Structure 1
Amino acid sequence: MRMNYYSASPDGLKAMLELQNHVHKAAEAGELGDGLLALVYTRVSQINGCAYCIDMHTKDARKAGETEQRLYALSAWRETPFYSPRERAALAWAEANTLIAGNGIDDALFEATREHFSAKGLADLTLAICTINAWNRLSISFAAQAGSYQPK
């Protein structure tokens, strides 16, 4: 690792962790679920090329009961029958929010995603996407070492 960003900015990381905790509490409450979050976190990390986060979230996904087949196919989720309509909506929303520069979010995608999530669920899903994008940027910027994470 180039630098320990936790010790360099403890207050900043405390704020990040508070948002992360909110997202996980929302997931535990039911609408998002840890399995869906693991898929979203992994897909966003694939898009961003964050090896540390891909390693982390695939390990967490396996621990949550995710199959190898679905994890291997995640980067090509549109071409497989392995994901539910709700998971597809979340993955499309995650990709659009991660690749938002110059693309925006169109009304059709919003409406299609909203069919599967309540207002709170969609807000929390979007916060989860924001959070993993931020963690990806921290991990890539400071060269977090892939392979060191172990699920709790």
Structure 2
Amino acid sequence: MSTAAEHRHARVDVAAEFGEMYPSAAAISKLVAEALGERLTELVYLRGSYLNGCAFCIDMHTRSALRAGQSEQKLFLAAAWREARDHFTEAEQAALELTDEVTRLGEHGVSDEVYDRAAAHFPPRELAALITGIAVIAFFNRIAVTTHKQPPVRG
């Protein structure tokens, strides 16, 4: 019996063909985490990955968030954070809301209301790091989704 993965057309291995760009992208991610803290950064990366349907990044950032001390419950609820607001601080909610709008830019961009809520919780440097982090995870998501990068099978 063949698997769905076997039926997929082979895609380029970005790491093998253009891997020299990863250290630069990883350096940006490190700067974001230094500015925002690992827990919030991983929460934003996880939310963006949910929105972009990136299984590889969901797996990776869930595990990274757990290592950073994020609670399992918060990670389980990140997919439906609006319905579980009591589990997220106001700053986390503002970051997740901004993540949602930046990730789904569409024709309307980011509303002033969402931007202002985030700006109320994050000083300019942290807000800049948050916006950068949302863009970075979208970058990684697009590579992984386009190339059908799969999370490793565990257990």
With the length of structure 1 as denominator, give the TM-score of the two structures: 0.87
**Structure 2 CA distance for aligned equivalents of residues 6 and 19 of structure 1:** 17
The question of 1:69 aligning with 2:73 is answered: yes
Percent identical: 33
The question of 1:12 aligning with 2:12 is answered: no
Secondary structure in 2 matching 1:15: helix
**Structure 2 CA distance for aligned equivalents of residues 60 and 18 of structure 1:** 16
Query: What's the CA shift string for 1:107-138, capped at 9, x where partnerless?
Result: 11111110100111101110000000000001
Please report the RMSD computed on the Cα atoms of aligned residues, expressed in angstroms: 1.7
1:97 matched to which residue of 2? 102
Query: What's the CA shift string for 1:59-98, capped at 9, x where partnerless?
Result: 1111111222111111111111100000000000111100
Residue type at the aligned position of 1:46: Y
Unaligned runs of 5+ in 1: 27-31
The offset of 1:18, in angstroms, is: 3.1
Residue type at the aligned position of 1:24: A
**Structure 1 CA distance for aligned equivalents of residues 19 and 149 of structure 2:** 17
The question of 1:128 aligning with 2:133 is answered: yes
Residue type at the aligned position of 2:38: D
Structure with more helix by fraction: 2
The question of 1:55 aligning with 2:59 is answered: yes
Unaligned runs of 5+ in 2: 1-9
The offset of 1:22, in angstroms, is: 2.5
**Structure 1 CA distance for aligned equivalents of residues 88 and 23 of structure 2:** 34
Which consecutive aligned stretches of 4+ in structure 1 deviate over 6 angstroms post-superposition? none
The offset of 1:3, in angstroms, is: 2.7
**Structure 2 CA distance for aligned equivalents of residues 24 and 65 of structure 1:** 14
The offset of 1:2, in angstroms, is: 3.0
Q: How many residues are treated as equivalent by the alignment?
A: 144
Secondary structure in 2 matching 1:115: helix
Residue from 80, 83, 103 that aligns with 1:79: 83
